[in-house]
């Protein structure tokens, strides 16, 4: 069976695999910046566009960890989310407010609906399915094989797969726990699964492995679900994300003559932090000033220095750069002051199940003394796996096995060119297969949050448009610097575009494909 999506008579098809924030905005930008002879297919295995892991939460307590003013989906229109939020979420929303992620998910749904309604309907096809493999055809297109058996032909394909699930950390003694058991398994691998929270209201203590933003999210969710016991949070260094706080601006201080080594860079940043403190500027201003040049800094480092950074500095960078909303940080502080959250730093030395409970021992980081505690449940909140050789994902497994992609040298994702084109096992840069978002961490370092990804999406669209061989069909938006309000922002005079149209429009688009 061979099926092309029934986007009528299009001459050129872009396919985007993954419809989280990245895939949704990429699909919308492609429709906006190409002419009607191009079609865009977004393939997403989940039901709602844009949600992904981050914005699919149903809880109002899960807040964005980036202020509203920085969450526009469109770099060419930085106020876009704020305008939408004022019209559709809370008319008094302040630029520095940390809005619930649930509301942001609605925003992304509204963006897609708007793109469909304002002309994209015949060109933007949303398919709820899972891409499992890719195969080039003799005519130069690529066939995407989906779990349902449907096949889609596309001229250019972009992987927007997001973060991969975390791998289970090594817990000495846990292998035995995998053998047949008489009591329920107390270890939960996936912090985003509902099953990790089942019955928590009856438990007395829970251990969260990892102390990043995911752990804080899970801690909030545990309280939300009625868990009243002790939350233990354990990681090697025991560092929690810092809190966001208002800070003044600090000028960019990095340039191409800056040190090319981790030690020199650290010295430079410390000098700037001291200077900022003397001028009454919060350290957050200094860290944020690095944001626009982080990719350049990363690319300026020799591989050995990148490895040194990953070995010694990454946890410190992460907690200063990826900060928590003030409300979340305050919640954690309060819980810690009452002993309801206990933070541990060290390396786990043993895991022993005893009935329905688990005895955990670990070597404390500072004293190297072995200490322990007993918990009813363990939830793995460690960072996403980045080494694609270790993934169970069918698409990634197929792409690696066929040599169409290869890991980057640091195993942070997939090897890609500066434009985002994927590099195969022989080192050849593809002219039809691209990636955007988390899997580009190896070449960009910061490739996870909205402010970075929206820029990446925008640049990729420019590249795709100019290299698609369809330039006479395609127009690049001439007015980026004018920062024109988008159609949706004007249309937002509608009470909430998504509420009335989203389920219908997605269903309608679904019907048009396959």
Ligand X SMILES: Cc1cc2nc3c(=O)[nH]c(=O)nc-3n(C[C@H](O)[C@H](O)[C@H](O)COP(=O)(O)OP(=O)(O)OC[C@H]3O[C@@H](n4cnc5c(N)ncnc54)[C@H](O)[C@@H]3O)c2cc1C
**163 or 386, CB closer to ligand X?**
163
User: Is 392 or 500 the residue whose CB approaches ligand X more closely?
Assistant: 392
**DSSP for 394-416, written as a single string:** HHHHHHHHTTS--B-TTSSSB-B
Taking the least distance from each CB to ligand X, the nearer of 21 and 227 is 21
d(CA 154, CA 53): 26
For 329, residues 6+ apart whose C-beta sits below 8 A from its C-beta are: 241, 242, 243, 244, 323
Nearest approach in angstroms of CB 483 to ligand X is 20
| Residue 379 binds to ligand X (criterion: CB under 6 A) | no
Beta bridge partners of 491: none
C-alpha–C-alpha distance, residues 128 and 146, integer Å? 10
Structure tokens at 418: 């500066």
Q: Does 465 help bind ligand X (rule: CB under 6 A)?
A: no
Only one of the segments 114-122, 261-269, 442-450, 483-491 lies at the binding site for ligand X (rule: CB under 6 A); that segment is: 442-450
- x/- map, 41-70, ligand X, by CB under 6 A: --xxxx-----xxx---------xxx----
Can you tell me the distance from the alpha carbon of 272 to that of 284, in angstroms, rounded to the nearest whole number?
11
Closest distance of CB 104 from ligand X, Å: 7
* Shortest distance in whole angstroms from residue 20 CB to ligand X: 2
Distance CA 42, CA 45 (A): 10
Q: What is the chain's length?
A: 514
- Dihedral sign (CA 405, 409, 412, 418): negative
- Contact at 8 Å (CB) between 380 and 190? yes
Q: Is there a contact between 297 and 278 (Cβ–Cβ < 8 Å)?
A: no
Residue 382 as a binder of ligand X (CB under 6 A): the answer is no
Name residues whose C-beta falls within 8 Å of residue 497's C-beta, 6 or more positions apart in sequence: 88, 110, 113, 114, 117, 488, 491
Q: Which of residues 130-159 bind ligand X (CB under 6 A)?
A: 130-131
Residue with Cβ nearer ligand X (346 or 514): 514
| Span 224-243, contacts to ligand X by CB under 6 A | none
446 binds ligand X (CB under 6 A): no
Rounded CA separation 207/96 (Å): 32
- In whole angstroms, the minimum distance from the beta carbon of 451 to ligand X comes to 6
Q: Tokens representing 383? A: 């960072």
According to the binding rule CB under 6 A, does residue 450 interact with ligand X? yes
Decide: is 160 part of the binding site for ligand X (CB under 6 A). Answer: yes
Q: Which of 73, 399, 449, 506 lies at the binding interface for ligand X (CB under 6 A)?
A: 449
Please state the closest distance from residue 351 (CB atom) to ligand X, in A.
Answer: 26
Tell me the closest approach of the beta carbon of residue 416 to ligand X, in angstroms. Answer: 14
Residue with the two structure tokens 């980057």: 408
Q: Which residue is nearest to ligand X (CB)?
A: 52
- The reply on whether position 501 binds ligand X by CB under 6 A is no
Residue 412 in the binding site for ligand X (CB under 6 A): no
- Which residues lie near ligand X (CB under 6 A)? 17-23, 43-46, 52-54, 64-66, 101, 130-131, 160-163, 217, 395, 437-438, 448-450
């Amino acid at each position: 069976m061979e099926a092309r999506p029934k986007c009528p008579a299009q001459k050129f098809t872009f396919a985007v695999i993954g419809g989280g924030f990245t895939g949704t905005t990429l699909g919308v930008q492609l429709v906006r910046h190409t002419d009607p002879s191009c079609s865009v297919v977004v393939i997403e295995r989940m039901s709602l566009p844009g949600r992904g892991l981050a914005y699919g939460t149903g809880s109002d307590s899960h807040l964005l960890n980036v202020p509203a003013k920085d969450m526009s989906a469109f770099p060419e229109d930085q106020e876009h989310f704020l305008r939408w939020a004022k019209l559709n979420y809370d008319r008094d929303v302040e630029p520095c407010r940390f809005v619930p992620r649930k509301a942001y998910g609605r925003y992304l749904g509204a963006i897609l609906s708007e793109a469909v309604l304002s002309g994209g309907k015949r060109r933007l096809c949303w398919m709820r399915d899972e891409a499992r493999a890719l195969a080039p055809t003799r005519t130069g297109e690529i066939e995407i094989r989906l779990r349902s058996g449907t096949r889609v032909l596309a001229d250019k394909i972009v992987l927007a797969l997001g973060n991969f699930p975390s791998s289970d950390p090594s817990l000495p003694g846990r292998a035995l726990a995998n053998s047949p058991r008489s009591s329920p398994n107390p270890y939960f691998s996936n912090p985003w699964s509902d099953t990790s929270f089942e019955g928590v209201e009856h438990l007395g203590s829970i251990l969260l492995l990892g102390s990043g933003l995911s752990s804080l999210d899970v801690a909030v969710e545990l309280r939300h679900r009625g868990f009243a016991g002790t939350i233990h949070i354990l990681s090697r260094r025991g560092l929690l994300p810092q809190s966001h706080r208002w800070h003044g601006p600090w000028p960019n201080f990095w340039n191409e003559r800056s040190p090319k080594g981790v030690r020199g860079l650290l010295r430079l940043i410390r000098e700037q932090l001291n200077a900022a403190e003397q001028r009454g500027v919060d350290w957050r201003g200094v860290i944020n000033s690095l944001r626009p040049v982080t990719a350049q800094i990363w690319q300026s480092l020799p591989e050995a220095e990148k490895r040194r950074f990953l070995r010694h500095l990454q946890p410190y960078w992460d907690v200063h750069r990826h900060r928590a909303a003030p409300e979340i940080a305050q919640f954690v502080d309060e819980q810690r002051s009452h002993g309801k959250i206990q933070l541990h730093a060290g390396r786990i030395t043993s895991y022993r199940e005893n009935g329905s409970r688990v005895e955990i021992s670990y070597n404390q980081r500072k004293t190297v003394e072995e200490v322990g505690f007993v918990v009813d449940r363990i939830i793995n909140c460690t960072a996403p796996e980045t080494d694609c050789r270790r993934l169970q994902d069918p698409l990634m497994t197929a792409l690696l096995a066929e040599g169409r992609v290869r890991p980057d040298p640091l195993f942070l994702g997939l090897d890609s060119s500066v434009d985002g084109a994927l590099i195969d096992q022989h080192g050849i840069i593809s002219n039809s297969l691209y990636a955007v978002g988390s899997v580009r961490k190896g070449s960009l370092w910061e490739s996870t949050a909205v402010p970075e990804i929206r820029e990446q999406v925008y640049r990729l669209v420019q590249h795709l448009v100019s290299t698609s061989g369809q330039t006479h069909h395609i127009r690049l938006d001439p007015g980026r610097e004018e920062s024109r309000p988008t159609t949706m922002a004007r249309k937002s005079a509608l009470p909430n575009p998504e509420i009335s149209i989203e389920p219908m429009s997605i269903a309608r688009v679904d019907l048009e494909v396959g």
